[in-house]
Chain A
Amino acid sequence: MHGEYKMPGGKLVVIDLDLHDDRLANVQLSGDFFLEPDSALQTIHAALIGQPADADEATLASVLHDALSSEVMMYGVSPEAIAVAVRRALHRSPEA
């Protein structure tokens, strides 16, 4: 499943994921954003994996805020934008 969101004033945020037993699995975030350190990408994946398929945007954003330390710097991307891309992936058919 694939979802894209162009963050207003920011960058393209893309999520690819699968569902296993109604939970997020194999989550991959990508896009032309900036993220420091780059290992934060794996932190984001780990935080999203296992979340229920019906988690809403606010819940997903909150999970990401909790997982990311204050050391992580984001430019052109945010927990809220990632949450939108996840919801879009979950709402769209695989070929969308």
Chain B
Amino acid sequence: MMRTDWRDHDWQLIHTIPQSPTLHMALDDVLTHEVGAGRRAPTLRIWEWAAPAVVIGRFQSLRNEVDTAAAQRHGIEVVRRVSGGGAMFIEPGNTITYSIYAPLSLIKDMSFQQAYAFMDAWVIEALGELGIKAWYQPLNDITSAGGKIAGAAQAHRGGAVLHHVTMAYDINAAKMLEVLRIGREKLSDKGTTSAAKRVDPLRSQTGLPREAVIARMIATFRRLRGLGDDSLLASELADAESLAQGKFASAAWLADVP
């Protein structure tokens, strides 16, 4: 396998109507697989959330991370994603989430640390255009002088890499701390945990509506990497809906790490 560059690929954008948390989990699974199999061109997908959610990492303990009674009380769905990393607290309109599905050739021979920064270099540039000096903070954060902006996670599947990122646009920290459990050991190294790291959301940093931030990000990706406008195939959506119901909504998957 030869190393490829961004411009060697015909990048496509998917940015559709709000979808449920389990469908988002399933779309990441299906689209990574489709790109790996060569049936879909490498794709940037911008997520729109239909409902609030806590998204826990592939290897996180459900009961250690989430106060499920508090989540239920607030009507927050708890889902497990396919990639590792930490828990995210999502409210529609408060986050900007995107996925990149790329052939593994794009990050061939890179260390994890290099691959994370490489996949998000365009976002660092877009943030700069919005007046935010941001940089990559290993292992998997995008940060700024004001605080953390985003967290990334990657998963490798059958010839493709899934790289997805959740950025804080706005945040309800009080509700987040009710729903996520923050352990003491987590605080021992860096002084804070992923979810509670001093977050400086994009709303206060840019003064722009969320839609304007997303539009800037898309424009920057388009200019740097090339980007066509695409939509989900009916078959991709059907596969994802079936996987959302069969796997990602199941108690067995959610409690796979109890």
Contacts and interface: CB of A to CB of B under 8 A. Distances in A.
Interface of A: 4-12, 14, 16, 28-38, 41, 73, 75-76
A6 B59 contact: no
B185 A33 contact: no
Contacts of B189: 6-9
B128 interface: no
A4 B185 CA distance: 6
* Secondary structure type dominating chain B contacts: loop
A28 B139 contact: no
Contacts of B193: 12
B59 A76 contact: no
| Of A7, A11, A29, A34, most B-chain CB atoms within 10 Å | A34
Given A6-B185, A6-B189, A75-B139, A34 B61 contact: no
Nearest to B187: A6
Interface stretch (B39-47, B78-86, B93-101): B78-86
Contacts of B84: 32-35, 75-76
Interface residues of B, number: 29
Contacts of A30: 59-61, 64, 257
A28 B61 CA distance: 9
Nearest to A30: B61
A32 B155 contact: no
Contact of B139 (A11, A14, A36): A11
Contacts of B188: 6
A32 to B, nearest CB: 4
B148 interface: no
Interface in B132-155: 138-140, 153-155
B119 to A, nearest CB: 14
15 contacts: A12-B183, A12-B186, A14-B61, A28-B61, A30-B60, A31-B59, A32-B85, A32-B194, A34-B85, A34-B153, A35-B58, A41-B59, A41-B257, A75-B139, A76-B140
